[in-house]
Amino acid sequence: AFELVLARSGRVVNVPAGCSATEALGAAGVVVPTSCEQGVCGTCLMGVVSGLPDHRDMYLSPEEQQRNDQFLPCCSRALTQRLVVDC
């Protein structure tokens, strides 16, 4: 599990194991547009302010993933306990 911190509102959303970040956000009333939900299309792309994403998508290039300034919340998770996102 990890926590998403929403930079614009300061809200903290817990993402339990077995639950995607987009599911957790949706349950908290934060709707993220999605399409493939498999890390392929890029629809759900979200900016990362701080923390390290655990990239599990096939959309971002390795270089883009290494910048750690954006992630795909439909499939990717976090390596840090908290991930602050531009949301």
**Residue with CB nearest ligand FES?**
74
Nearer to ligand FES, 72 or 83 (CB): 72
**Cβ-proximal residues to 66 (8 Å cutoff; 6+ apart), any chain:** none
Question: CB 30 → ligand FES: shortest distance, Å?
Answer: 15
Contact 56, 77 (CB under 8 A): yes
Q: Which of 10, 14, 32, 35 is nearest to 22 (CA)?
A: 32
Nearer to ligand FES, 10 or 63 (CB): 63
Question: CB 43 → ligand FES: shortest distance, Å?
Answer: 4
